[in-house]
């Protein structure tokens, strides 16, 4: 469990995130339900969140051979932010 010291004790920063700290089950079918998010602690500030996946692979639907790509995602979060491990598992679900 990840925690952060607060003024009145210890508050959880991973509340509602089920993938952190546990065993990872890699899905090989499209699985949008694996995406998780958490509250943006600074929604009034504008800042970029960037993810880079240099090793994205999927199987070509015609040849069955692996296709390789690099995915870059950049966004300005509002109230919620994408949890990076869940994004990795979501991208992995495109494998087949």
Which residues form the catalytic set? 60, 67
Task: Give whole-number Cα distances, 83 to 12, 24, 60, 67, 94, in Å.
Answer: 15, 14, 28, 25, 18
Residue closest to 21 by CA, chosen among 93, 73, 83: 83
Q: Can you tell me which residue has the tokens 């993810």?
A: 51
């Amino acid at each position: 469990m990840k925690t952060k010291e607060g003024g009145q004790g210890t508050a959880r920063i991973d509340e509602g995130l089920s993938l952190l700290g546990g065993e990872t089950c890699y899905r090989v079918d499209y699985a949008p339900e694996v995406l998780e998010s958490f509250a943006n602690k600074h929604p009034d500030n504008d800042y970029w969140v960037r993810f880079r996946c240099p090793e994205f692979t999927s199987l070509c639907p015609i040849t069955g051979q692996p296709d390789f790509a690099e995915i870059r995602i950049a966004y300005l979060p509002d109230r919620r932010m994408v949890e990076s491990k869940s994004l990795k598992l979501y991208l992995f679900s495109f494998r087949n």
